[in-house]
Structure 1
Amino acid sequence: MTVRAWPERQYDDVTDDTSTWRDFARCGEVHPETFFPEQGCSPKAAKRICRRCEVRAECLEYALQRGEPCGVWGGLTERERRRLLYDLAA
């Protein structure tokens, strides 16, 4: 059995190597609407979950690469991701 090392934790690898960061994401343990709050609602609940997630960096990278237009990904809101991309481009 091989072991894949993720940040702060180790997970047993799936024998056919089909596991991804999503398989280990904490957001899979709660209702998806938590990560897509309505206009004017707070993203704090989603951010609390993200802070404890072992694959937060992978999630954020995925959202940035795909240009996810809404929701909380990797602990950042849409506005925070846009600001991050702007800062990286500068």
Structure 2
Amino acid sequence: MANLSHLPKAVFESYEWQESGACIDRSVEEFFLPEGLRTVEKSDHEAAAIRICGTCPVVRDCLQHALRARERYGVWGGLSADERAKHLADDSEAA
């Protein structure tokens, strides 16, 4: 069974920030990679999502959520999954 202890509590106040996200009216597919993309296509897809995040008033809340929840896929808080994984690895090495 998965260890869910690192996830934030499922109360509205924990996720209220999402209502103000620049992505609220966007398609989920814009932030999650379709299967089979080549490296250049992957980079372009992620860059487009990250540009949207660059306009977002709650980008910090989004990133904090993604890091706490260890979101493994998609662009969250202006970072790709690979960038978040590196950030988490760097934090654990520093600890």
TM-score normalised by the chain length of structure 2: 0.70
Q: Any idea what the Cα deviations from partners look like across 1:36-65, whole Å, max 9, x if unmatched?
A: 022433211110000110100100110111
> 1:51 corresponds to which letter in structure 2?
G
Gaps of 5+ in 2: 1-11
Gaps of 5+ in 1: 1-16
The number of residues matched between the two structures is: 74
More strand by share: 1
Q: Indicate the percent of aligned positions where both proteins have the same amino acid.
A: 36
TM-score normalised by the chain length of structure 1: 0.74
User: CA separation in 2, counterparts of 1:50 and 1:63?
Assistant: 13
Structure 1 runs (4+) greater than 2 angstroms displaced = 39-42
> 1:76 corresponds to which letter in structure 2?
L
Tell me: higher relative CO, structure 1 or 2? Use CA pairs within 8 A at least 6 residues apart. 2
Following TM superposition, by how much is the alpha carbon of 1:29 offset from its aligned partner in structure 2, in angstroms? Answer: 2.1
RMSD of aligned Cα (Å): 1.7
Following TM superposition, by how much is the alpha carbon of 1:88 offset from its aligned partner in structure 2, in angstroms? Answer: 1.2
User: CA separation in 2, counterparts of 1:30 and 1:45?
Assistant: 12
